[in-house]
Chain A
Amino acid sequence: MHENEKLGYDRREFLRGSTAIAGATAAGVLLPTGISLAQQAKLKVGLMLPYTGTYAQLGVAITNGFKLAVEERGGKLGGREIEYFTVDDESNPAKAPENTNKLVQRDKVDVVIGTVHSGVAMGMAKVIRESGTLWINPNAGADEVTGPLCAPNFFRTSFSNWQTTHALGKVLKAKGHKTAVFITWKYAAGEQMMAGFKEGFEKEGGKLTKELYVPFPQVEFQALLTEIASIKPDAVVAFFAGGGAAKFLKDYQAAGLKGKIPLYGSGFLTDGVLEAVGDAAEGIETTLHYADGLDTKKDKAFRLAYAKAFKLQPDVYAVQGYDAGQLLAAGMDAVKGNIGDKAAMIKAMEAAKIDSPRGPWTLSKSHNPVQDMYLRKVVGKENKVQGVAWKALADPARGCKA
């Protein structure tokens, strides 16, 4: 029975859908063609991603990755073709509810894929929690989404902020560092990464001597670099991204700290900025769920296919988008395209073992990837893998009651 592809998950929709099924079944007895027509109805996929602004490239990489996963399956998931609905969320949290409603209410999509910015994701969570639509989040790392806000229909194929720095505690301990200073922007993602690191480092007996915050999105670091020099910790851990990361790396070197106090970071510190910073990043070690030079069969095949299809080198965001496609495919295959059978679909997605370019991963109870965190080191223009910093790291999902 595939007539209910329009079936959303709120009660009104459900009732309307059921009537449609009943009607169509009755009609189907007389008109068998009715069913075959319905079988070809397309799966409605809503892409809510940034296509303009600072994060535009990330939105494009995620979209490309997702479409690559679909194309590899002959353009169909669970036997159904895909119809895309696209909304540019502009990374604007204020517009998040409105934009989400465009997909959920107006276009009545079956599944929402999005987004990059954590603030926007929090807005989406509110709307989608009410509509019950299936949601796969291919980036935004806010701990809350798979924490206090978790829900059966929420899935994430990227990371939680906590995950990206938690493994660093072990790394620092292994290098013999006993004290560290953490420096980041004062906003949610920065504070969550700081907390993830602190917990991991203190568990290993390390001491986080000072937390240094720069107002977001300022990039004047000179005062805090001076402060670091006066504290003299064994190591510095940082989270910045994009232009801020590039500037921080260069300032750290210019202040003469590089080579005197070793710098570590969440992987985003050295992702996408190596062209810009020259040798200022050389040798810096970070943890993330993806790296250059993984050299697995799956990763090689993915990189080749991506480069061929889009004339671009894939990055961690493309991988996350690709895995969003793979996760959706796992669910759709299990219910043979009948996305109305939501319970069975969610169960199949929960049990899926995703063969990702980053390495295989599964989902935690709160629907966040349980994945290997790699230790990477900047060598030339690459974040070269050094090894696995933490095997199968799971987010603690604090506050998740679903």
Chain B
Amino acid sequence: MDFAFFLIQLLNGLQYGLLLFLVASGLTLIFGIMGIINLAHGSFYMVGAYLAWSLSSLTGSLTAAILLAIPLTVILGMGLERLLFRHLYQRDHLYQVLLTYGLILVFEELRSLIWGDDVHGVAVPALLSASIPLTENLSYPVYRLAISGVCLLLAAGLYFLIQKTRLGMMIRAGASNRDMVQSLGIDIKLIYMLVFALGIALAAFAGMINSPLSSVFPNMGSQVLIICFVVVVIGGIGSVKGAMAASLMIGLAETFGQVLVPEAAGMIVYVLMAIVLVWRPEGLFGRA
């Protein structure tokens, strides 16, 4: 591998890592702040991708599809929180696992009924469809770079929301002591509903903007679910900063692993997770 290709692989790794962050950030919010283990996270990713596909074939524009789909997923998130999740905050994690596993099955079946079992492609917006030539036979799709930009913006936005705003302060307070926050006169139920909807919308949004790259297909959610949990565990539960660090680490490890030790490529991420957990059982940025 000469130096130019090393740099390109570095770019690949960072770009993949940023994408992982986008998918995992919603999970880390819901898991970390609300203590809900949401196995259906991947399903919301899938719902986002299918919404992007069906709405963009209706409207002819991915941008319009995304703008239409985001409110829909926020409503979906709020509805689910009100109807189902709200009743499980005080229960054991096992109930949440059962509920969200059930939701996976429900969403897969609904997907099959509404959209069918075909593989679908989503067109990249014309504005971003170009590629930048890097070497004589390799070029880099502009859309991938654009996604990286969006991921960075979103990361900054989340950080600002949680660390610097009043709402963020209430969210953090609610995460550490729900009852106390409530007795101070803050509507914690509303805050939880908002956080949950935000987490769902983030997952769905990741599915939407990733759909031109990944295609849209049945069971696409289960593929991202596991890696999302790895990100959350390595980064430290509930830490957005940690999720970012873990995503980038995994992106780089997987990229270089595939090239340098192709035989063990499937294992590298899990070896990395094991090492991190031995060294820091609470994750990179988790609170013990």
Q: Measuring CB to CB, which residues of chain A are less than 8 angstroms from any residue of chain B?
A: 52-54, 56-57, 186, 211-220, 222-227, 229-230, 232, 242-243, 246-247, 250-251, 254-257, 260-261, 272-273, 275-278
Give Cα distance in the complex from A246 to B138, angstroms.
20
Sample of 15 A–B contacts (CB below 8 Å): A57-B118, A212-B262, A215-B266, A216-B266, A223-B259, A226-B138, A227-B258, A230-B5, A243-B218, A243-B220, A247-B214, A255-B139, A275-B120, A276-B120, A277-B121
Chain A residues with CB below 8 A from B112, complex form: 52, 56
B141 at interface by CB-CB < 8 Å: yes
B32 at interface by CB-CB < 8 Å: no
Give Cα distance in the complex from A211 to B265, angstroms.
13
B63 at interface by CB-CB < 8 Å: no
Chain B residues with CB below 8 A from A217, complex form: 223
Chain B residues with CB below 8 A from A53, complex form: 218-219
In the complex, number of A-B residue pairs with CB atoms less than 8 Å apart: 121
Known: A222-B16, A230-B1. A214 touches B120 (CB 8 A): no
Chain B's nearest CB lies how many Å from the CB of A259? 10
Chain A residues with CB below 8 A from B258, complex form: 212-214, 223-224, 227
Chain A residues with CB below 8 A from B144, complex form: 222, 254
Q: Measuring CB to CB, which residues of chain B are less than 8 angstroms from any residue of chain A?
A: 1-2, 5, 8-9, 12-13, 15-16, 112, 117-121, 123, 131, 133, 135, 137-141, 143-144, 213-220, 223, 254-256, 258-259, 262-263, 265-266
Chain A residues with CB below 8 A from B263, complex form: 213
Chain B residues with CB below 8 A from A247, complex form: 213-215
Known: A213-B262, A276-B119. A226 touches B12 (CB 8 A): yes
Give Cα distance in the complex from A223 to B214, angstroms.
15
Closest 9 CB pairs of A and B: A243-B217, A215-B266, A256-B139, A229-B138, A276-B121, A254-B141, A223-B255, A246-B215, A260-B137
Give Cα distance in the complex from A105 to B214, angstroms.
43
Q: Which residue of B lies closest to A243 (CB)?
A: B217
Known: A57-B117, A220-B254, A223-B254. A186 touches B265 (CB 8 A): yes
Would A261 and B214 count as touching, CB distance under 8 A? no
Give Cα distance in the complex from A250 to B265, angstroms.
22
Would A250 and B121 count as touching, CB distance under 8 A? yes
The answer, among B118, B141, B214, B259, for a CB contact under 8 Å with A227, is B259
Give Cα distance in the complex from A229 to B140, angstroms.
12
The answer, among A229, A251, A254, A276, for a CB contact under 8 Å with B137, is A229
Would B138 and A256 count as touching, CB distance under 8 A? yes
Chain A residues with CB below 8 A from B8, complex form: 226
A-B contacts besides A229-B5, A272-B118, 10 pairs, CB < 8 Å? A53-B219, A218-B266, A222-B255, A223-B255, A226-B259, A227-B5, A232-B137, A242-B217, A243-B217, A278-B123
Chain A's nearest CB lies how many Å from the CB of B59? 18
Give Cα distance in the complex from A242 to B8, angstroms.
28
The answer, among B16, B121, B133, B143, for a CB contact under 8 Å with A246, is B121
Chain A's nearest CB lies how many Å from the CB of B209? 15
Chain B's nearest CB lies how many Å from the CB of A222? 5
Known: A186-B266, A223-B13. A243 touches B119 (CB 8 A): yes
The answer, among A54, A222, A232, for a CB contact under 8 Å with B15, is A222
Known: A220-B254, A247-B214, A272-B119. A257 touches B12 (CB 8 A): no
Would A220 and B215 count as touching, CB distance under 8 A? no
